[in-house]
A and B are shown apart, each in its own frame.
Chain A
């Protein structure tokens, strides 16, 4: 609720699929290459050329459909969406209108500790358009680069189920991490591999839904949040001033932080959809649909819930680990060993490991860390072979070297001394040299004990087991 209004948000997310070739031709699907270098007569829409559908695009879209609990239309078709624009060489986009590949799904997200189910209306496959380049150098003209034409897209359309920009943001982050989990999209926001259109309306509680506006040109998740917040404020102020909301398409300007009207419903485009006659019916065997379902891993939104419920992680930590495919995979493998509790591992993962990754820019895969050597490390700390400080030293080594923990301890001489006779000898020497502190302690100054233990540790060059050292000192000065 914002100022007494309920907010209703629906999102249309476009994700570029990371196939090798484009959706309807064999050109390379790669970002950032020289202008008009990844084009052929087909994606340039030359007269007489025809599309052929990339099998992997269908597979990827079906996998996303499974991940979002959709029913899969294993018999479906493609349609033409007709409109003129210089970035659209055929003057129509091959998309899916009537029958999308996937529909009627949902995704569960966690917002402020509460589970929310967001409906997914449909997922369909389509081709991306090219790019228009504007520059002051070229007066009065725009330049057209067609490299992006035919890059495969899936469009994920949500139900109007979100009630705040925060929910929209969590939904977007959830979709992103699912796409990454499936390995079907690079999810590089700065390259535009995920883009979204936002539908927003507001209404008073108990009243029917308000008129919605659609916002385009939303190029990042944070821009989506800003755009939604702006649009909600705008609509409320229009209504409060006694005005009405008109159905329209608006354009978000993230630099200025405002949206402006692009076109009203009256001059809405008439796309004249009709079945693409150059392509036949897509028929995917049920067996293949099932096979693809079996490839879906446990997804991050499900993992978060499990980490919270089963392992007792807080939502922040659970989300941080679950949203990274590699951290979650590592954490799950550690937990599968059944040796230590979650806390033991998350301390290392969220502490030293993340610190290392942030400082070096490396990924987990770049390190030599394994669930095995990390468990070995936890083991030697638990049985007090080494100290916590020694543990950090060992960790720094196993990040970079494929060397057994025991060997590292030996090489660096990190093993703690727990032998009573050795420790007693150190204690005797330290106590003898620090009579004043001993007397202080006996006189009731308990913090003198810490000083004495510290001196013993120093004398042992840090190798003494501090717990045991303390016990021995207590025994001796208590005598």
Chain B
């Protein structure tokens, strides 16, 4: 087995025992990138030189006997909407094609302090708006299980790179399912943490009240390891939660005896592919065999979640993306006549169609005369959705659902129908609306060999419960299967 194929926790052990060096491991990952990247197209920017340098420094520190974190020396890929000082951060947009942040996101400071080796910046849907990574200005990323198919989105590069072993673990961001949905399509594990548990400082904002950075990996333990590093209160993010955060990886255990699992009937209805539905039910049955207690529940407002999500996220996006005006950074149109024309041409030439659609939807729902009918209604519904979850969490510990209604679709299949594309988020958006944590773990492969994911949703700040449940299931199912590339 090649080094690049191994899981982070195994590699961490090998590095600690000095069986391997980080430089060696990093080179192995870059060799892998060289051999498969042209099939996958996961990366927008590679950071090879710096990565090797960091790896060698970590190796030196280790030889010197320094106390290092579990993540020290592990190659990690970063979604291209997370600000990396001195390393181009494009959000997969023409608007930021040449933008180099002069500062690090808080998570990047944490990763760097932990000794993580940054492999490069990963492809995504432009400004994280999309479900297939086809909305990248630069190129679509391909699903390693079938390169004719989409890897999901918006963190498509984050999921595909991990599945293709082009990174050991990665960071993504999740506003309506953008970590979990591609994790499901690419057969990897993805955690969307509780809103406020990971600092958003330096994450280029899409929808501020929903965005959350989280880890993707080939196994639950790897995801727990990264989450232990990135979680924590941050004085730079006013929405960051002030509390103690456990070492999730150290506390990981597979005992689910007595775990109460809720199955919400609204997530297993029309529109869910029968194979996906059956796979999730089978997975839950396996967990029941291990001592979990399963109960059918109801979350009646689920039907309205998608509408509520698109109103809130687009409203916030219309405001968050207004700063791209060609004045302080980013693209500026070449020819213009006066200030307003410069704004309009810059923004029209710099943004892709999906971003424009969301900006216009968001502008519309906030505009004079429509605020109450759209935005306010959506916010009231958000409160109701959270209320329904909260009351269910009195009776259950986790809620199990499909992550996505289907397995991965073909590139180009849904690009002409925004609504069909939006519908792929149906199982994931409620979690963001309610600010809850959720994890997607691979649970089955269809007849084409395409993975499907099981989503486990927990109450706020119960990441440990989710990770333990996912870990228990992974132990039963055998977890990640490497795709043929």
Contact = CB atoms under 8 A, between A and B. Distances in A.
Given A45-B328, A49-B201, A272 B366 contact: yes
Contacts of B201: 48-50
Contacts of A84: 322, 325, 343
Interface stretch (A153-161, A164-172, A276-284, A419-427): A276-284
Interface string A257-274: 000000000000010111
A47 B327 contact: no
Interface string A89-129: 11110000000000000000000000000000000000000
Secondary structure class of chain A's binding surface, majority of residues: loop
Contact of A48 (B203, B235, B363, B366): B203
Contacts of B209: 277
Nearest to B104: A48
B326 to A, nearest CB: 10
Nearest to A53: B238
B208 A278 contact: yes
A51 B237 CA distance: 7
A166 to B, nearest CB: 37
Interface residues of B, number: 43
B85 to A, nearest CB: 10
Contacts of A274: 315-316, 319, 366, 371, 375
Interface residues of A, number: 28
Given A48-B202, A48-B204, A48-B205, A270 B368 contact: yes
Interface stretch (B95-103, B184-192, B403-411, B448-456): B95-103
A52 interface: yes
B83 interface: yes
Contacts of A90: 322-323
A217 interface: no
B277 interface: no
A152 to B, nearest CB: 16
Contacts of B368: 270, 272
B329 A46 contact: yes
Of listed A41, A49, A89, A279, residue having the most chain B CB within 10 A: A49
A279 B235 contact: no
B325 A41 contact: no
Contacts of B96: 47
Interface in A59-107: 80, 82, 84, 86, 89-92
Contacts of B363: 272
Given A50-B237, A89-B328, A272-B363, A82 B103 contact: no
A48 B105 contact: yes
A397 interface: no
Interface in B302-353: 315-316, 318-319, 322-323, 325, 327-329, 339, 343
A284 to B, nearest CB: 15
Interface string A289-310: 0000000000000000000000
Instruction: Please list the 7 inter-chain residue pairs (A to B) with the smallest Cβ-Cβ separation, ordered nearest first.
Output: A91-B322, A272-B366, A277-B208, A277-B209, A47-B204, A48-B202, A48-B83
Given A90-B322, A92-B322, A277-B207, 19 more contacts: A44-B328, A46-B328, A47-B99, A47-B101, A48-B201, A48-B202, A50-B200, A52-B236, A52-B237, A52-B238, A82-B318, A82-B366, A86-B339, A91-B322, A92-B319, A144-B327, A272-B318, A272-B363, A279-B239
Interface of B: 81-83, 89, 91, 96, 99, 101-103, 105, 200-205, 207-209, 235-239, 315-316, 318-319, 322-323, 325, 327-329, 339, 343, 363, 366-368, 371, 375
19 contacts: A41-B101, A41-B102, A47-B329, A48-B81, A48-B83, A48-B203, A49-B201, A50-B237, A51-B238, A82-B366, A84-B325, A86-B325, A90-B322, A272-B363, A272-B371, A273-B366, A277-B316, A278-B239, A280-B238
